[in-house]
Amino acid sequence: MLAKIYQPSPSAMTSGRGNTKFWVLEFMGGKSGGIDPLTGTNRSTNMHSQLDLKFDSLENAVAYAKSKNIPHQVVQSNKVKRIPRSYGDNFAFDRKLPWTH
């Protein structure tokens, strides 16, 4: 079973970068076990699909995968260039960008 090692991206709903400093080893794929007739939810007999292992660094995650003989793939995320702005810049007299309203 192939594992994906990646660094999670920040939530689109916030501007914070919390929970993005670690690396995650997530098992990919797996067959679905079908639908449970009693509850109507999806079920699976594959326990690996429920695991997300968190590591402090990429090297630790790769070392763990190699030590357990887990085939893995490292996915690098795109870095977002952030422009630091303050709220007061919206009302500055020498505003660089024109008003939209």
- Ordered structural domains, the chain, with CATH: 1-7+21-28+46-77 (3.30.160.190)
Closest CA to 49 of 64, 61, 32, 66: 32
Position 30 scores a pLDDT of 66
CA distance 27 to 49: 6
Position 60 scores a pLDDT of 96
CA distance 31 to 41: 15
Position 6 scores a pLDDT of 93
Residues 6+ apart with CB under 8 A from 71: 1, 2, 3, 65
Q: How far is residue 43 CA from its own chain's centroid?
A: 24
Is residue 74 predicted with pLDDT exceeding 90?
Answer: yes
Position 31 scores a pLDDT of 65
